[in-house]
Amino acid sequence: MEITVTGQEINGKEKQAYVDYLEKKYNRRLESLQITLDGEYADLSYQFQPEPFERIRRITGYLTGNLSTWNNGKRAEEADRVKHGLEKGFEIL
């Protein structure tokens, strides 16, 4: 994790306190932290580590992220469905 401090010097304990505060508040891991100190004020600019996510789609009336759990009947239904697109007949702006 990259921590940058501008304006004043602070010790490692204080840096870690800012990290702990943000990670606890947002329940995410920090990737970088920019601390700008101005007298008694501290401005925190931060970026969190990216979180992987599973894409959820609505197929044949069901919400799914992975077709591997479907039985053969549902897989056949998905293969036979008509896919509708917006590409035909519309001008892309």
> pTM for the full model?
0.59
Residue 92 pLDDT > 70, yes or no? no
- 34 secondary structure, DSSP code: E
- pLDDT of the residue at 47: 96
- pLDDT of the residue at 21: 96
Mean pLDDT over the full length of the chain: 86
Nearest partner of 33 among 41, 43, 11, judged by Cα: 43
Distance (Å, whole) CA 86 – CA 69: 29
Q: Mean pLDDT throughout 10-25?
A: 95
